[in-house]
Amino acid sequence: MGKGKTGRHGTFYFRGKVKYSQYYEPKLKFTYKCFQKSPKKTACITTKNFRFYKPDIIERNNETIHLYFLNDIDVYEDYKNRKYKC
């Protein structure tokens, strides 16, 4: 699985397999703006409740994954109604 530091107690290593249930669905949490000066809003989407676009560039940095979309993406009315809020 990896390693993680826990303060003064040193580094712990975890080994083993992770078993996900059949109902496990990962969430993608992101922030967005409707306009340039509007406040940021947070949304959570899954592959079940959203038509997920294929990203153009995927960068992995430690535990963070950055997805870049180079083309315009359609914004649905659901975002304005806060359907996907966390």
Look at residue 18 and tell me whether its pLDDT is greater than 50: yes
pLDDT value at residue 68: 74
Domain for residue 33, yes or no? yes
Domain for residue 17, yes or no? no
Answer whether 0.85 is exceeded by the pTM. no
Domain for residue 45, yes or no? yes
Domain for residue 9, yes or no? no
Q: How many domains does the chain have?
A: 1
Domain for residue 50, yes or no? yes
Q: Structural domain of residue 42, as residue ranges? A: 23-86
Domain for residue 4, yes or no? no
Four-point Cα dihedral 38, 44, 48, 50, nearest 10:
10
Least confident of 10-14, 15-19, 32-36, 71-75: 10-14
Domain for residue 18, yes or no? no
Domain for residue 51, yes or no? yes
Confidence class of residue 40 from pLDDT cuts 50, 70 and 90? confident
